[in-house]
């Protein structure tokens, strides 16, 4: 997730760009950059990569900007391809430096496009997928196309998700913008026009607002916006009414970042899958193989792995518990999982055939980082699963899988937790693939099931109103018990953790089979038991455990598959979810109503869900 802004018209282009980038900084803060254009002058570009200080440093280095500039682009970056650096920062230019563009998204086929363009003589300066777009458009212009046609023609060659804005020194005042999947909005006044990745950048600067749809192209000039479809037919503009204030706009109109990030989960999952499921020919395409584009261990090294350790903390640990089931079931490798803070101190037995999977949203969690370093010192292979490009764990590991969730502002993990599970499921399937444990039809089925998850998670989120109603009825309860078995157990742990983190209520998660070994002594009338009772392998046993707590007066809340009346008959309250196409993928869907339950209970108690007490987003001390 990156922030894009473009301005054409008026005399305050640079101040407008910098102000709008400040409003979009929540979308990315690895680096920042601007490019300015003035008739008859070359493009002027500045970029900075100082983390959260990037934008301030950029603003302090604009003394040589052309005062006559009348159009320009700006960008704040959340790195996906290439480490955060000035070279990798946007805007990117072509070989001549006369074309510049900014981009949000992931170009799936950037390697093959880059190889082709390099063979034609184009020189790539960065590690990014974005720069390939600049050279692709440059190539189309060298064949006689103007900027508008060159961008339109290039769009037909791209696979993946993108929102982009392009300028050229030879076409003064013109911004060409396009999108597929990644959002892009447009604004207009009588003498100026803007493009941006989100509404906040335009508030107070535009009189009219418009939304660009998939595979549409916008030709933006001062006071003028023309939009065409993929066949180059002009589309009438439909103004959008915006009633948000600036603070609400930064949250996408949601009351807080946590609810915004819960609703972003389908897109975050799709971004994590993008480019990693390779489609076969046909319509609709089936999936035939996996591709790990940031993986730095050879297939031969992975085939030599004879044991896997997973180390993580908090929500990442719960994602790791799902990974244990997936790796053992699909790849047939033994897996041990440790809370990262304990890993080094039990003297684990590791060697060069051991794979240690270290999971951390930030890539800076000190316990997990130190566990990974300890494993590396014992010659184990280390694979990091993280959301932050060029984080310490990413740099120091033998391989890295990025979760591509974008910045997560809320302290309680939501979209990063789900994308961690997705990345780990991909890893499990990849290990099985390189070990030759799947027939092609089996792998295609599982990859198709992965591909269906964004839609299923979206359906679970759409039931948020039902979950809120359940939360209102439980608002007076102080004691919650979360139960699950098999892959439902990590979901129960995550549900309990979310409730503790943001509602400050007493919540404990247990394997349902352990209930009678002690915890059932705490069950009494007034207790609430939340059980994950979707149709995974031990469903019948979960229902038996539920019957035990019902007999002792507990109020029962069940997570159940849509239409499963047999399960619902044992519940006082039901949290409905779509069924997963494979049991090992169920946690991605089943955890969603538990996030929502925790959220609504916290709101019912008047808590700040984005900043829960005593907690920090990244734990950097032991």
Average the pLDDT over each of 139-143, 183-187, 333-337, 390-394 and give the range with the smallest value: 390-394
Sequence spans of domains, the chain: 3-246, 266-451, 458-604
CA atoms within 13 A on the CB side of 263: 13
pLDDT of residue 391: 81
Query: For 558-614, how does the pLDDT look when each residue is reduced to its tens digit (9 = 90+)?
Result: 999 999 999 999 999 999 999 999 999 999 999 999 999 999 999 999 999 998 888
> For the residues 94-98, what does the mean pLDDT come to?
96
Q: Write down the catalytic residue from 2, 324, 381, 498.
A: 2
For position 215, what pLDDT does the model report?
Answer: 93
At 243, the pLDDT band (50, 70, 90 cuts) reads low
* Residue 95 clears pLDDT 60, i.e. is over it: yes
Q: What is the mean pLDDT of residues 423-440?
A: 92
Q: Which CATH class, in words, describes the domain spanning 458-604?
A: alpha beta
Q: What pLDDT score was predicted for residue 618?
A: 65
DSSP state of 222: T
Higher local confidence (pLDDT), 534 or 298? 534
Superfamily name with CATH number, domain 3-246? Aminohydrolase, N-terminal nucleophile (Ntn) domain (3.60.20.10)
Classified as helix, coil or strand, 212 is: coil
* Coil, strand or helix at 395: helix
Tell me the torsion sign for CA atoms 128, 134, 138, 140: positive
pLDDT tens digits along 38-83: 999 999 999 999 888 899 999 999 989 999 999 999 999 988 888 8
Residue with tokens 């038991």: 529
CATH topology identical between 3-246 and 266-451 = no
Q: Identify whether the C-beta of residue 165 lies closer than 8 Å to the C-beta of residue 2.
A: no
Please give the average per-residue pLDDT across 495-521, as a whole number.
93
Express as a percent the part of the chain with pLDDT over 90: 74
Peptide bond into 91 cis (omega under 30): yes
Q: What is the mean pLDDT of residues 477-483?
A: 95
Active site residue 313: no
Active site residue 2: yes
Q: Which of 407 and 340 is assigned the larger pLDDT? A: 340
Q: How far apart are CA 460 and CA 152, in angstroms?
A: 36
List the structure tokens of 328.
């053992």
Decide if pLDDT at 455 tops 70: yes
pLDDT of residue 619 exceeding 70: no
Compute the residue count for the chain.
622
Average of per-residue pLDDT across 542-566:
94
Tokens representing 282 are 């046909």
In the set 53, 516, 541, 617, the catalytic residue is 617
Confidence check: pLDDT of 94 > 60: yes
pLDDT at 446 over 60: yes
Give, to the nearest 10 degrees, the angle between helix 488-503 and helix 586-604.
Answer: 20
Fold classified for 266-451: Rossmann fold (3.40.50)
Q: Hey, CA dihedral for 400, 405, 407, 411, is it positive or negative?
A: negative
Q: Which residues contact 28 (CB under 8 A, 6 or more apart)?
A: 1, 2, 3, 76, 77, 78, 406, 407
More confident residue, 581 or 253: 581
CA-based angle 597:603:608, to the nearest 5?
A: 120
pLDDT digits (tens, 9 = 90+) for 349-405: 999 999 999 999 988 888 999 999 999 999 999 999 998 887 889 888 999 999 988
Whether 359 contacts 368, CB under 8 Å: yes
168-172, 295-299, 302-306, 383-387: which range is least confident on average?
295-299
460-483 mean pLDDT: 96
Query: Quick one: pLDDT at residue 281?
Result: 55
Determine contact, residues 324/318, Cβ cutoff 8 Å: no
- Check residues 99 and 279 and name the one with the higher pLDDT: 99
């Amino acid at each position: 997730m990156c922030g894009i802004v473009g301005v054409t018209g008026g005399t305050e282009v640079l101040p407008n760009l910098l102000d709008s980038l400040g409003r979009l900084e929540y979308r990315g803060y690895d680096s920042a950059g601007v490019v300015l254009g003035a008739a008859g002058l070359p493009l002027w570009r500045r970029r900075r990569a100082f983390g959260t200080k990037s934008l301030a440093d950029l603003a302090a280095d604009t003394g040589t900007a052309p005062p006559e500039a009348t159009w320009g682009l700006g960008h704040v970056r959340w790195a996906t391809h290439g480490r955060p650096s000035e070279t990798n920062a946007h805007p990117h230019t072509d070989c001549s430096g006369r074309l510049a563009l900014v981009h949000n998204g992931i170009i799936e086929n950037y390697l093959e496009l880059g190889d082709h363009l390099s063979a034609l003589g184009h020189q790539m300066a960065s590690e990014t997928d974005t720069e390939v777009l600049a050279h692709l458009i440059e190539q189309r212009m060298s064949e006689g196309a103007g900027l508008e046609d060159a961008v339109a023609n290039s769009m037909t060659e791209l696979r993946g998700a993108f929102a982009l804005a392009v300028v050229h020194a030879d076409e003064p005042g013109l911004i060409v913008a396009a999108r597929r999947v990644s959002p892009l909005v447009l604004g207009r006044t009588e003498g100026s026009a803007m493009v941006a990745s989100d509404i906040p950048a335009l508030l107070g600067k535009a009189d009219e607002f418009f939304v660009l749809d998939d595979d549409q192209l916008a030709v933006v000039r001062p006071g003028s916006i023309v939009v065409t479809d993929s066949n180059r037919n002009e589309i009438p503009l439909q103004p959008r009414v915006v009633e948000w204030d600036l603070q609400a706009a930064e949250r996408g109109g949601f009351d807080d970042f946590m609810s915004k990030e819960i609703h972003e989960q389908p897109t975050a999952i799709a971004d994590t899958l993008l480019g990693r499921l390779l489609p076969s020919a046909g319509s609709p395409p089936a999936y035939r193989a996996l591709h790990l584009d940031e993986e730095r261990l050879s297939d031969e090294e992975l085939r030599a792995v004879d044991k896997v350790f997973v180390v993580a903390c908090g929500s990442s640990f719960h994602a790791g518990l799902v990974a244990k089931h997936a790796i053992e079931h699909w790849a047939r490798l033994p897996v041990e999982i440790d809370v990262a803070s304990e890993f080094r101190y039990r003297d684990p037995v590791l060697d060069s055939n051991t794979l240690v999977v270290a999971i951390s949203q930030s890539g800076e969690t000190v316990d997990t980082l130190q566990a990974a370093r300890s494993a590396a010192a014992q010659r184990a292979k280390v694979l990091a699963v993280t959301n932050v490009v060029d984080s310490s764990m990413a740099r120091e590991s033998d391989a890295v899988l990025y979760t591509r969730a974008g910045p997560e502002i809320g302290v309680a993990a939501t979209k990063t937790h789900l994308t961690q599970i997705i990345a780990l499921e991909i890893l499990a399937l990849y290990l099985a693939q390189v070990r030759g444990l799947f027939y092609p039809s089996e792998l295609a089925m599982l990859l198709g099931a992965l591909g269906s998850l964004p839609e299923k998670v979206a359906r679970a989120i759409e039931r948020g109103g039902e979950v809120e109603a359940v939360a209102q009825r439980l608002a007076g309860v102080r004691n919650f018990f979360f139960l699950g078995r098999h892959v439902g157990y990590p979901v129960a742990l995550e549900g309990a953790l979310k409730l503790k983190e943001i509602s400050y209520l007493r919540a404990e998660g247990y394997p349902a089979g352990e209930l009678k070994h002690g915890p059932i002594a705490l069950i009494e009338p007034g207790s609430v038991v939340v059980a994950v009772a979707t149709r995974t392998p031990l469903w019948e046993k979960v229902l038996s455990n539920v019957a035990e707590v019902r007999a002792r007066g507990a109020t029962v809340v069940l997570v159940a598959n849509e239409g499963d009346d047999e399960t619902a008959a044992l519940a006082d309250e039901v949290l409905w979810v779509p069924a997963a196409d494979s049991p090992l993928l169920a946690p991605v869907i089943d955890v969603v109503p538990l996030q929502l339950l925790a959220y609504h209970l916290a709101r019912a108690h008047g808590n700040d869900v984005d900043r829960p007490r005593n907690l920090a987003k990244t734990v950097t001390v032991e």
